[in-house]
Structure 1
Amino acid sequence: MEDIKSLKPRYEQMYLMLRNKIQAGEYAVGDRIPSEKELMEEFSVSRITSKKALDMLVQDGYIMRQPGRGSFVIQHSSGTVEEPARLQDNKPSGEESVQRKQIVLGLIMEDFSDSYGKEMLAEMERTAQELGVYLLLRISFCQPEVEEQAIMMLREYGVDGLIIYPTRGQNFSTEILKLVIDKFPHVLVDRYMKWTDTTAISSDNVSATRMGVQHLFQGGHRHIGLLASRVTDNVAIEERIEGFVQAHAEGGILLDRSSWLTDMNWTGTGSPDDQIQKNVKMIQAMLREHPRITALFAMEYELALIAKEAVEGLGMHIPSQISIICFDSPPSTSALYSFTHLRQNQKEIGQLAVHNVLKLIEGAPLPSKISLDVELVIGKSTGPAPKQA
């Protein structure tokens, strides 16, 4: 392949090589060129790469692809297209004759688990397959530098658009900001960028949290502790705390911020067990200091598990003494415990992410924020407030 060490993506290098051979007459009009499989083997590339090179030749009018037969040259240059006589038979008509460029989308996710992300990822892949779109996945493992490298790599590869579930951080990465400046088609999932036109798809976190707090109020709870990871790390958490405050204001219930823990972390330095135990002790200290607390609202599922360990470690019973509610929970078949939780519509988020980035590729205008309703699922972790409280 010419200039194999070029910085151009492999599919573009293959496209240029094949195009040059066609223009030089090495492949005459009507000749069959190598198939995807043959190109894969010759250049040691993936099928996606070889397919995209051929799709570019189709788009530029150099070849015609015949299902079950192969790809055939129909012109030598950018001039008039000549259709070989032997390809006239069985020529498709209408929409079937329209050759479309293969769309490849990049997907970058901070991480995923049974409680959140796994179902959304599966739905993105199902939707992409139904639409004939390729999806290339990269996991950042909550590391901003890995996320930035993934964005650069996928753009260099030549993806048509990006779906990003961003890593936590006080600021979005410079590479995401470059996407905004370059007007590169991209959609953010779960988090959004304030003061930009970037399309973000997420749950209505404010309304969802209000619904959860109102459920506790209906059970007679008036002293509710709040558990959250670092507020500056996550726009979604900011919105959930806003909903927590709104619910208290609407219910006329006094808000006690001294019963909030908003700097919890289970992914920092040190072993995971040490981080968990540190959080367990923080919750236990808060419960000892505020004995009137009858419920805990965990803004994330992992915090609910930590809260459960903390409560049981104090010899208290759930839910007769302390109720716990959280966001998200694995399906009942795989859940460690049946928490009352607010279930986000991961399937719809996944579907909308794929459909909307395709709309952006086509140049369609989209709102900067798309919010979805959340469902309250009653589990074993909430009940009436204890009478003695």
Structure 2
Amino acid sequence: MKNKIKEQIQSGKLRVGDRVPSEKELTEEYHVSQITTKNALAGLAEEGIVERIKGKGTFVRESNLSSSNNPLNKPKGLIGLILPSMKTKVEQEFVNYIEKYVTKNGHNLIIKITRESQFEEADAIEVFRKLEVKGMIIFPTEKENYNEAVLRLSLDKFPFVLIDRYMENILTYSVTSENEVGTLEAITYLLNKGHKNIGLVSPLITNTVTEERAKGFENAFLKRKTTINKNLWLTLEFAEISQNKTPTLIKEFLLSKPEITAVFTMNAELALYTHLVISSLKNEKGRDIELLTFDPPGISGVSFIKQDIDECSKKTVELLLEQIGGTYNPKRIYVPVKLKPSENLDMLETIIR
């Protein structure tokens, strides 16, 4: 029994910090007495392979069996992650979960941040190829066209997965959230609350993410057979999206559109800028505008659409490992999202009713 558990640690099935089956579970698995399993676990503890914590169980500890000196636990290779920034909570969560699943599968993760530069993106791809990474996970920059370096990866059939966006006319592996479905549900939610004039604040609609979310916005009105007014849409150049410029542009827009009673923003960054403006308009003009956004903005009282970052990351790593393993069958995976209405807003409506 001791040898079986050691083999599981050596193979990586049980890793440092993992819980070892209990005495009762081992008794049932090996059809032996509980005293036998107790002695086996005690023996492993004496050897320093496991640690027994009263009331919690038995856990694998760092040892010669589980250390990097063990050839069975040598990393299988490097995986490169390229992303435009680390400034949003969503991006940080993606890094957290991708690292978790890459490590769980025996690889090591290295990261390059492009800061929304296609030049930096191309440089990162070149650096990773020189480092002989086994594969890459890429969040493309928010630009009108795809980087030629990304297209080259596709032509070379180099293992990589696009996350958050995909290339419409080129077969690649990609994982993205259900942007269209999520936005349709969000706008329907606002229409059901009686909002007729709903504004949109968005980057230029030039990539698959913004296109799908814009389509979801339109479809919510089409399903209701209600006229949509695109004059209530504010689309911003990428160079205009900054802490210094964006709030001013949003304020000018909302002041010029007094009929707007609700605003949907394409992402959490734009939600933060819009919330600042809405708060100032409420204080200055007594005007109340409801805000709803894609991704949690970290603002109390604001409803949002939540992506399943854990599942997106897990699927992404699975698709990459599939390619590294020798299978090449490009596919596009959509991961469901959930509308999270603000508890504050729901409580307020209940009180009013």
Question: 2:88 touches 2:269 (CA, 8 Å); kept in 1?
Answer: no
The answer for the alignment partner of 1:260 in structure 2 is 233
1:325-336 equivalent positions in 2, closer than 5 A:
325-329=292-296, 335-336=298-299
SS of 1:117 mapped into structure 2: helix
Deviation at 1:366, TM superposition (A): 3.8
**Identity of paired residues, percent?**
28
Describe the SS at the equivalent of 2:106.
Answer: coil
Give the 3-state SS of the residue equivalent to 1:116 in structure 2: helix
Shift of 1:194: 1.2
Q: TM-score if structure 1 supplies the norm length?
A: 0.67
Cα deviations across residues 268-318 of structure 1 (Å, max 9, x unaligned)? 6xxx4422xxx3233233333322211000111111111112122223699
- Cα-Cα RMSD: 2.9
- Find the aligned partners of 1:140 and 1:109 in 2 and give their Cα distance: 6
The counterpart of 2:121, out of the listed 138, 147, 168, is 147
For the 8 Å contact 1:323–1:382, the answer to whether it is kept is no
Change (3 A) 1:137 1:259: same
Q: Distance between the aligned counterparts of 1:287 and 1:209, measured in 2?
A: 21
Q: Which runs of 5+ in 1 are unaligned?
A: 1-65, 73-95
Residues 69, 195 of structure 1: CA spacing in aligned structure 2 closer, same or farther, 3 A cutoff? closer
Counterpart contact for 2:295–2:307, Cα < 8 Å: yes
Does residue 307 (structure 1) correspond to residue 274 (structure 2)? The answer is yes
Kindly name which structure, 1 or 2, has the bigger radius of gyration based on alpha carbons: 1
Query: 2:112 aligned with 1:138, yes or no?
Result: yes
Instruction: Tell me if 1:280 matches 2:247.
Output: yes
Mapped to 2, the partners of 1:317 and 1:295 lie a distance apart of 18
Aligned to 2:305: 342
Q: Which of these residues, 215, 226, 236, is aligned with residue 200 of structure 2?
A: 226
Structure-1 separation of matches of 2:286 and 2:183: 19
Higher helix share: 2
Match for 2:163 among 189, 212, 229?
189
Looking at structure 2, the residues matched to 382 and 227 of structure 1 have their Cα atoms a distance apart, in angstroms, of 21
Q: How does 1:1-389 map to 2 (within 5 A)?
A: 102-232=76-206, 234-263=207-236, 265=238, 272-275=242-245, 279-315=246-282, 321-329=288-296, 335-379=298-342
> Contact 2:139–2:162 at 8 Å: present in 1 too?
yes
Aligned residues: 284
In the TM superposition, residue 267 of structure 1 has moved relative to its aligned partner by: 6.3
Q: Does the 8 Å contact 1:231/1:262 carry over to 2? A: yes
Partners in 2 of 1:166 and 1:356 — Cα distance? 17
Aligned-partner Cα distance in 2 for 1:366–1:242: 28
Alpha-carbon distance in 2 for matches of 1:113, 1:284: 23
Distance 2:67 2:304 in 1: 51
